Amino acid sequence: MSDREQPQLYLITPPVVDLDSFPGTLAGLLDAMPIACVRLALASRDERVLGKTADALREVAHARDVPLVIDSHVLLVERHGLDGVHLPDGGKGLRKLRDELGGDVILGAYCGTSRHVGMAAGEAGADYIAFGPVEGGSLGDGSLAETELFAWWSEMIELPVVAEGGLTAAAVERLAPVTDFFAIGDEIWTSDAPLAALQTLTAPLR
């Protein structure tokens, strides 16, 4: 595994975004750190709020050649010029979405801790699979995505794998040899200094 490329960073927005300040915060992060992708993951289901936020963040991300995907809201992808959609339920309906949206749209699937669900999503056309949480939190049943799951996936499956949920600097260091991306959200937005928090969290990668 020594020839594996360094994992890339994938930012997840906070569940509530202040459009007066957050685009500037995001721009600062993208300018300061190499970010491979941004996911818009608002708690709101109001399409007006989602669309307005998507437009503002798309301008910031695309100005820096960073793709912007949206959590769940498939219909907003084409409407707002987004790069793809992240499906939080193991990629249900993914095959149909791939047929409808075409090969250029990014389709990602969060698969919890299930190797089987991840493989099914990959076969259905996902561009990446996310497993988690990995530490510092757990699913409702208390399960965590163990290092062994990522090690097996990276050894056996070519499809990129994302570590998401409950990330700590120790988890980043442990998983760096066996994951392609770290998806980082709440870990930094609860801080008054998100950039500093991101730099501390990802220090093992440098």
pLDDT at 41 over 80: yes
pLDDT at 140 over 80: no
Structure tokens at 100: 């409808």
Q: DSSP for 135-160?
A: SS---TT-----HHHHHHHHHH--S-
Nearest alpha-carbon partner for 65 in 94, 31, 106, 28 = 31
Rounded-to-integer distance, Cα 191 and Cα 184, Å: 13
Mean pLDDT value across the chain: 94
3-state secondary structure of 198: helix
Structure tokens at 26: 């995001």
Where does the pLDDT of residue 184 fall: very low under 50, low under 70, confident under 90, or very high at 90 and above? Answer: very high
Check if the beta carbon of residue 101 is closer than 8 Å to that of residue 70.
no
Where does the pLDDT of residue 148 fall: very low under 50, low under 70, confident under 90, or very high at 90 and above? Answer: very high
Give the residue-averaged pLDDT of 177-194. Answer: 96
Instruction: Give the pLDDT of residue 142.
Output: 75
The domain ranges of the chain are: 8-205
Q: What is the CATH number of domain 8-205?
A: 3.20.20.70
pLDDT at 51 over 60: yes
User: What's the alpha-carbon Rg for the chain, to the nearest Å?
Assistant: 16
pLDDT at 159 over 80: yes
Instruction: Give the pLDDT of residue 136.
Output: 66
